């Protein structure tokens, strides 16, 4: 049976590539990043589902989340549920949106397919469709009921996607959830855990003056530089714990975004805004991290007492959920079929945070993240995917559908 399924997937290689080209030719950038959202791409995806004959027995359902910035006022996600022998569902959840920029028109060159979205998240989305198609072509019934979910807004935080959808009872406690949105080129890495995410946003207020008379004001740029350095040093010294399940195995505290201040070189800025992105090991309290940062802000304000400096801190916290158990059914099912398709032994680990699997883990629904991908191409201008990875992903997904653990 397995050999028959794998052969059917291989026959579909050209269709997989052409379908991914077709979908990724349609921009799906968030309206919060200057795009028009996912509407056109989702509509094209539904057409493809019908063309493949997957709609004959499946339930197809749209779910919408209100978004005033979207042209339609809503952000669409699409669900396809195909009946299997068991009512228990294997859910493969991909995202439709992409980051801005990069190659807008996909093209094949050698063994690779290039284009924005072909890897992130086309390498999971399209193979999940053709895994089910291969099963049907082989004349086989899925062991599990298959739920393919194609969601909006992953790239800007899922506020108009899974964050809202998961509150609507669309998923069940016994669902086996696979998120094919990360991995490596070898295909041997399964993500079962992630770090907490802490984002720190600083606003430093000084007094703007002409650069020829800096003594008459307070240079917010200098204060911000001092603050960023002190925060960076203090966090790295205070939180040195390591956890070998993660790569890297320690917490990271990175100064990232810096906003423009004054437009001309001869003005001392009176305001500076900048941010830190922190990926914190789950065993470290985010409150302790925040307390240390607030202490540094207060100390710098106090040292500049009389100069009118003010430091405002805004904090976004996403505590890490409990990891998915290595003994969970979905983990064991995935391991079994990676071994069969790729002929290697996968390993379990953690990432810096921000995957869709976290939403499920927060609801105590075990979820794993896996795909064979060209990991270094994600979000790059020349994003690409090895075509053989698309086929391998479809093979693993199809075998997971076909036979229970």
Backbone angles phi, psi at 322, to 5 degrees: -65, 145
A 10 A CB-CB count for 259 gives 11
Domain with 253, as residue range(s), is 197-318
pLDDT, mean over the chain: 96
Residues 6+ apart with CB under 8 A from 85: 141, 142, 143, 144
Same domain, 93 and 164: yes
Is 287 assigned a catalytic role? no
Q: For residues 182 and 197, give the distance between their C-alpha atoms in angstroms, rounded to a whole number.
A: 17
Residues 6+ apart with CB under 8 A from 246: 193, 195, 281, 349, 350, 351, 352
Q: For residues 210 and 225, give the distance between their C-alpha atoms in angstroms, rounded to a whole number.
A: 19
Same domain, 255 and 359: no
pLDDT tens digits for 20-59?
A: 999 999 999 999 999 999 999 999 999 999 999 999 999 9
Same domain, 263 and 213: yes
Going through 206-309 in order, the beta strands assigned E by DSSP cover 209-210, 252-258, 267-268, 271-280
Same domain, 262 and 216: yes
Q: Among candidates 98, 1, 108, 12, which has minimal Cα distance to 54?
A: 12
Q: For residues 249 and 226, give the distance between their C-alpha atoms in angstroms, rounded to a whole number.
A: 28
Same domain, 166 and 247: no
pLDDT of residue 404: 78
Residue among 154, 155, 175, 272 flagged as catalytic: 154
pLDDT of residue 307: 76
- Give the predicted TM-score (pTM) of the model: 0.89
Report whether pLDDT(103) > 80: no
pLDDT of residue 275: 98
Residue among 8, 67, 81, 97 flagged as catalytic: 97
Is 175 assigned a catalytic role? no
pLDDT tens digits for 58-92?
A: 999 999 999 999 999 999 999 999 999 999 999 99
Domain at 384, CATH number: 3.40.630.10
Same domain, 186 and 274: no
Taking every pair of Cα atoms in the chain, the longest distance, rounded to a whole number of angstroms, is 81
Please tell me what DSSP assigns to residue 221.
H
Q: For residues 130 and 145, give the distance between their C-alpha atoms in angstroms, rounded to a whole number.
A: 16
Domain count, the chain: 2
């Amino acid at each position: 049976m397995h050999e028959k399924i794998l052969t059917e997937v291989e026959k579909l290689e050209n269709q997989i590539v052409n379908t991914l080209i077709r979908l990724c030719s349609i921009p799906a950038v968030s309206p919060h990043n200057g795009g028009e959202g996912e509407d056109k791409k989702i509509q094209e995806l539904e057409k493809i589902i019908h063309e493949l004959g997957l709609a004959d027995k499946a339930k197809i359902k749209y779910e919408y989340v209100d978004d005033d910035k979207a042209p339609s006022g809503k952000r669409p996600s699409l669900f396809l549920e195909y009946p299997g022998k068991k009512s228990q569902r294997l859910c493969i959840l991909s995202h439709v949106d992409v980051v801005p920029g990069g190659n807008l028109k996909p093209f094949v060159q050698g063994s690779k397919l290039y284009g924005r979205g072909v890897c992130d998240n086309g390498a999971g989305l399209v193979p999940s469709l053709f895994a089910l198609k291969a099963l049907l072509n082989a004349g086989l019934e899925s062991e599990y009921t298959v739920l393919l979910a194609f969601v909006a807004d992953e790239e800007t935080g899922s506020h108009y996607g899974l964050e809202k959808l998961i509150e609507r009872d669309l998923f069940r406690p016994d669902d086996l959830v696979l998120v094919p949105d990360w991995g490596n080129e070898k295909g041997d890495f399964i993500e079962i855990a992630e770090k907490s995410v802490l984002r720190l946003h600083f606003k430093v207020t000084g007094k703007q003056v002409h650069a020829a008379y800096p003594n008459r004001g307070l240079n917010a740029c200098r204060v911000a530089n001092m603050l960023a350095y002190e925060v960076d040093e203090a966090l790295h010294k205070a939180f040195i714990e390591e956890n070998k399940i993660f790569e890297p195995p320690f917490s990271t505290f990175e100064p990232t975004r810096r906003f423009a201040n004054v437009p001309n070189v001869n003005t001392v800025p009176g305001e500076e805004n900048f941010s830190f992105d922190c990926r914190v090991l789950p065993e470290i309290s985010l409150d302790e991290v925040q307390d240390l940062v607030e202490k540094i802000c207060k100390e710098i304000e106090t040292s500049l007492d009389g100069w009118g400096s003010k430091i405002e801190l805004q904090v976004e916290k996403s505590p890490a959920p409990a990891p998915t158990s290595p003994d969970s059914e979905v983990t064991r099912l995935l391991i079994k079929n990676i071994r069969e398709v790729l002929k290697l032994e996968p390993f379990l680990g953690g990432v810096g945070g921000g995957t869709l699997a976290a939403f499920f883990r927060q609801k105590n629904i075990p979820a794993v993240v896996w795909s064979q991908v060209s990991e270094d191409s994600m979000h790059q201008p020349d994003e690409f995917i090895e075509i053989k990875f698309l086929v391998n992903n479809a093979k693993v997904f199809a075998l997971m559908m076909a036979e229970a653990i």
